[in-house]
Amino acid sequence: MKDLVKATVLFGSSARKTSSQGDIDVLVIIDDLTVRLTPELTEAYTLITEKIIAETSNMLHITTLKLTAFWEYIRSGDPVIINMLRDGIALLDTGFFEPIQVLLKQGRIRPTHESVWAYFAKAPSTLYNSKWHLLQATIDLYWAVIDAAHAALMKLGEIPPTPEHVADMMQIHMVNKGLISKKYADTMRKFYNLSRMINHREIKEISGKEYDSYYKEAQDFVYKIREFIEEK
């Protein structure tokens, strides 16, 4: 197994912390050029690393890379690998990691034109994803509201209806009987309609300010329903 490991590198700012202060990141570079990585060998390596983590600390994070992949990342000037080279400390080096660090310090490792565009190409989609996450987060608020509403109706002995009828059921069995304010039935109806508009792509974007407002309203709803459920 020792011959399999080309270099073990402790890297990142957390590498200089103790286990009580933060996580410890370890990169293990596997020689896949002179050693054939059979399924049996890979499984044995995985079991050994999992055992080391279990016996040492769950704050120990081990990442494994093949030597060929590591070299391709270096050739393309991958930012993550460059940071490893810049900040990494070799715990076990068979003679290739520290020389590469010297080459980096000498300015002889530079990103290729292709790698520049490969990284830039991620930016527009990431921007789009950030908007999608806000939409998804708003859908999560809807589920928080409707789950709480179902629980309230169940406490009254009512069978939870389909989502489109929950607000009406709250109006009949809770608002009309003075158990809760009308605004909570309105909140349920609002989030149901909001979720439908998002799912049908009628709403394609939600701002951070809008989400904060929705979150506060959903939070108030959930807290109120909890008070109702806890009442004897």
Structural domains of the chain, ranges and CATH numbers in brackets: 2-119 (3.30.460), 122-230 (no CATH)
Which residues have CB under 8 Å from 68's CB, separation 6+? 32, 33
Tell me what percent of the residues of the chain surpass a pLDDT of 90.
Answer: 45
pLDDT of amino acid 133: 95
The whole-angstrom separation of Cα 100 and Cα 224 is 61
**Helix crossing, 208-230 with 182-199: angle to 10°?**
130
Give 147-191 pLDDT, tens digit per residue: 999 999 999 999 888 999 999 999 999 999 999 999 999 999 999
Tally of CA atoms within 13 A in the half-sphere of 69 that contains its CB: 10
Q: Which two tokens stand for residue 93?
A: 């080096």
Give 190-232 pLDDT, tens digit per residue: 999 999 999 999 999 999 999 999 999 999 999 999 999 998 6
The residue-averaged pLDDT of 100-112 equals 83
In Å, how far are 69, 129, 174, 178 from 182, measured between CA atoms?
61, 36, 9, 9
2 against 229, higher pLDDT = 229
Q: Are 90 and 8 in contact (CB under 8 A)?
A: yes
Which residue matches tokens 């990103």?
Answer: 111
Q: Which two tokens stand for residue 76?
A: 């393309």
